[in-house]
Amino acid sequence: MSSSISRIAALAAGMFLGMAGGAMAQSTPLSAQESDPNVMGWMQGFPPPADKLITQPDSVYFSFPRLRWSVCHLREFLPTEEISRGLGAPVPLSYLPPHAFADARQDIDALTFMPINGDKEMTWEESLYANYTDGMLILHKGRVVYERYFGCLEEDGKHAIMSMTKSITGLLGEILVAEGVLDDSLLVRDVIPEIGESAFANATVRQVMDMTTGVQYSEDYSDPNADIWLYSRAASPLPKSEGYDGPDGYWEYLQQVKPEGAHGDAFHYKTINSDMLGWIISRVTGKAVTELASERLWRPMGAEQDAYQTVDGKGVPFAGGGVTAGLRDLGRLGLVMLNGGEINGERLFPAEVVEKIRASGDPAKFAGFPTIPNGSYTSQWWVFHNANGAYAARGVHGQTIYVDPAAEMVLVRLASFPRAQNGFIDPTSLPAYQAVADYLMAK
């Protein structure tokens, strides 16, 4: 497989936390308004003009500004498996009365805050455009107080959530641990004997869940020989090139991972941990992560849309970044977390699951993320250890489910920021979230 096709597969799969993104973006990218896919005319017309086509694999469909359209159309490029919401009617979200909703939007849009290390205040609305927001949903005390759509995303649309997928995988794993289905003290080889001599073999399930494994995996996108490209070639659902003799699929790749450092010493954000956890979950339940997410989350929480998840050439779901979902359903997932496993009067899983995620993770093992200085990472969730007890699911290009227990707030943002690292947008995002939390607590 050519290097360019490999990059397409990797980017589309969502395996790009740590990528600067600038290598595939303009040095001075178009603004959010200028790069709006409706303004640029991507894929408009029947058929679209040749210069407005976004195709696979001839164009790099996840490069900016094309990605601003592609994030809402991933299943048009890659095979997927459904996360079914079932056949029952969705359970509607509760909204503020229309006049109060309009007032809240006006108030929130006008909120001001100081960006991290900034010298000039910014309004909430300005931050939405600065961060190339495609969808924003805010719930307070169980009711929607703010909802907006931009760019490719409409009310009935769906959006790639990138590495927020990891948090779904981690949540499923933590549920299984709480219910006694999965023993997180076991070694990986005790659960997956065919892992063989892989570096994962003598890591514990908990070390996989918290990404404190000592495994060799480079996501240096400037290095054509980095592990990320080997992983993308293995996982790509596209036909392998003639003469290819490497691993075929996510799980075959995991069987040949080499050691690097000691298990348990430190947090290292490496996507292969999420796929290892997906394999473990599938083994102990006999179900794909897509089926389990449907059964334990999407159906019982009253989701209004099916979600879907990209798969490799063998049909294995990408547990580290392959989910696309609707904005409101991600809000429902945030409510489940805020309410300790409950929604709509129904308990989906034990309260200890969320309690453990909120309280766990070792900040002493967490380094290299200057915008989250006191943070930790546990069960594939980011924990801020701030005064409000906030924690989040996060994905590149600006995806987040931000849960603030003190403010009784769930905030969901879907975005298509030109550069992949969230470190580029945290300075104008995290203080903005705090400003909304402060406003809601004052109300």
Q: Which are the contacts of 396, defined by CB distance < 8 A and separation ≥ 6?
A: 14, 16, 17, 19, 162, 163, 420, 421, 422
Both tokens of 39, joined, read 């303004």
Amino acid at residue number 85: R
In which order are the strands placed within the sheet that holds 159-160?
80-83, 307-310, 323-325, 159-160
State the CB neighbour count (10 A cutoff) for residue 238. 16
Radius of gyration of the chain (CA): 21
What is the spatial distance between Cα 47 and Cα 104, in angstroms, rounded to a whole number?
A: 42
Both tokens of 188, joined, read 């990986």
Beta bridge partners of 115: none
Pick the catalytic residue: 163, 167, 236, 294?
163
What is the spatial distance between Cα 397 and Cα 15, in angstroms, rounded to a whole number?
A: 12
Mark whether 167 is an active-site residue: no
Q: Could you report how far apart the first and last alpha carbons of the chain are, in Å?
A: 56
Q: Of 433, 386, 389, nearest to 411 (Cα)?
A: 433
What is the spatial distance between Cα 287 and Cα 23, in angstroms, rounded to a whole number?
A: 38
Compute the C-alpha angle 313/238/22, nearest 5°: 110
- Which residues participate in catalysis according to the annotation? 163
